[in-house]
Chains A and B, each alone.
Chain A
């Protein structure tokens, strides 16, 4: 394990976290846009949770790690794909601010609209760039780019629906949890139909495809059987396996691009120290959020 390998592992970990947490946020935005029922929208807004825009921290982490560990790779990717990436960034701006605005001032329709549309724009653009890089294409408006964008958006929608089932249940809402289950089944099937033939057409020969397909099928079965907690894990696995498969295809010359050991050692140390503070406080935040208001903590 060289320093570069560890850095690459951390970057992939960060991307996975962004896909699983941030991606679910984007997907929830998509359902928010599609959904016609006020009560559904309320559950989505509530489920967005305490880390409303803090999930972008994973994306920032990925970018910082990339430009620190593999500076030339970062420069090449960002400058070549500056158009879709700038659009993704603007989508993040529009989405993050309108979500908060709509909370503060609920009677403005265009906030909700902007929130929904930008929730689709950002994952589409990021997925398009990822697919273009993975297939060695040159432009995000090519076939691979469009495919990657649509697939990523679908995956986000699927993840969000799977998570929302449980959130609705937690709020004691049977009807809505069933409705989100329907959404999850629909988007799950759509993801499978998109991912598998697409992988075959693009010539992906990675065992990860089989893993993703298996996890996806198990997830559908679990959904039908209403094992809502287990499905969160299998659905997440199905989605990140797609990302890992795409990462395995990208042909970067990382060895010549890797930064000096002194730099990476310091970054690893900083991350280790940071994790000591971050992990417990994050757990605390989630525990706090799962607990309803008006139940003061006895343990703090």
Chain B
């Protein structure tokens, strides 16, 4: 089929299976890209402010330098995150018009709020970046606070839309028509609290471990060169501590999330845990291991409780169980590995505090774990946390299939029926691959540049006289 024919032939009807899959893959891909960027965009201002606060308190130039560099990186990532978010707004309509047509008004208010929060974030980001040497240090620090708050708010608002897709509320269907719309009930559906907390913790972990992993690589280089670079050590310690603090909380919230899914989306739960048949005293199966009765105990606090399996539901409502289970296991495995790494860090911290109490001398055995093995693992933690984040999204999104709105609308009813969607996917893949490579290479170049003098504003303005 020629391109011209594709462009002019707006045949109405059902999308071909290939186009339908392409639309889902394009959404998954662009959303995944945006989620990772947005996660760093939420967490980076927070650690920047932490470093800036320390520099205000101590006057230590190393903290100021860290804050300045993180601020610049946050500026770059914010811009890329803003445009990748704009693309998602387009895709809501170009890929899923059936969904927007019918339910756009139900969750629209949440997006309006998200837009407002994002706008506030953008403006204060601009003030923060441009105010670096135009405001007093204290005032500059204060302008950073709205950036963090607005970032957290916009993430929370946007996740209410996804939780609404899992737990649709706030409307009634009368003869297939949407009536009695209650936007607040839609936003504060039962899945919102658990999804919002789970997502925000995950994004702070992604940010903390990704930034720390960059410094872990630098520290490994330092070790080989026999140097001790305090800038690298602090640059590692701040974000890694943020990630490490969130890791145990996330395990608890994840447990809450799993139990919520069991109660509200039993099919998804059965797919996640690989429960084929409804049974009592379900064992915990993970990869090749099997621990008797543990899953029933974890989920219902009763070792002999009955859990519904996939066979309890009609076959045409089953999600692709293998994908859901595998992605769920990847997320759990990485989460536990990060928890172990966080525990190692915390233990070393505690021993160090005790060790310095005696005679002020710190024995090398009592220092923080600047050991090669710890640093190597920490260098992998950033990629790991990102993979866990994407695996978690895969679990919840694929686990909701075949529904786009759980139990109400099927995904194939929502897709754009125009032919040729798959060509859109190919173009998107190429553009985003280039974008990812360019983003990483720019950030690497920024890192390699020698530290600039104090007070270089983020985007350097031209020095062309003063305003009149």
Residues of A within 8 A of B (CB): 42-43, 45-46, 50-54, 56-57, 59-61, 63-65, 67-69, 71-72, 74-80, 82-83, 85-86, 88-90, 92-101, 103-105, 111, 138-139, 141, 169-173, 259-260, 262-263, 266-267, 270-271, 273-274, 277-278, 281-282, 284-285, 288-297, 300
Contacts and interface: CB of A to CB of B under 8 A. Distances in A.
7 contacts: A46-B464, A60-B85, A64-B115, A75-B93, A80-B418, A260-B105, A270-B109
A45 B80 CA distance: 17
Interface in B418-456: 418, 420-421, 424, 427-428, 431-432, 435, 438-439, 441-442, 445-446, 455
Contact of B424 (A67, A72, A86, A139): A86
A71 B467 CA distance: 47
Nearest to A138: B10
B82 A139 contact: no
Interface in B99-113: 100-106, 108-109, 111-113
Contacts of B438: 97-98, 101, 111
B13 to A, nearest CB: 12
Contact of A105 (B103, B134, B421, B445): B445
Contacts of B131: 288
**Complex A-B, nearest 7 residue pairs according to Cβ-Cβ distance, in ascending order:** A78-B93, A68-B108, A71-B104, A75-B101, A274-B116, A259-B105, A172-B465
Chain A interface mostly: helix
Nearest to B457: A293
Interface string B267-289: 00000000000000000000000
A16 to B, nearest CB: 17
Nearest to B9: A139
Given A93-B84, A294-B133, A104 B416 contact: no
A90 B116 contact: no
Nearest to A289: B130
Contacts of A78: 90, 92-94, 97, 100, 416
A95 B431 CA distance: 12
A105 B448 CA distance: 11
Contact of B97 (A63, A79, A270, A285): A79
Nearest to B76: A100
Interface size class for chain B?
35 or more
A86 to B, nearest CB: 5
B104 A75 contact: yes
Given A51-B123, A79-B417, A85-B93, 4 more contacts: A100-B76, A105-B445, A291-B467, A294-B134
A53 B82 contact: yes
Contacts of A67: 92-93, 100, 104-105, 108, 111
Interface stretch (B176-184, B192-200, B214-222, B297-305): B176-184
B75 interface: yes
Nearest to A141: B7
Contacts of B84: 93
B14 to A, nearest CB: 13
A282 B121 CA distance: 11
A290 B127 CA distance: 12
Nearest to A76: B97
A300 B445 CA distance: 35
Contact of A43 (B113, B118, B462): B462
Contacts of B421: 82
B124 interface: yes
Given A75-B100, A85-B90, A278-B123, A53 B464 contact: no
B128 to A, nearest CB: 10
B93 A266 contact: no
Given A67-B104, A71-B105, A101-B442, A60 B94 contact: no
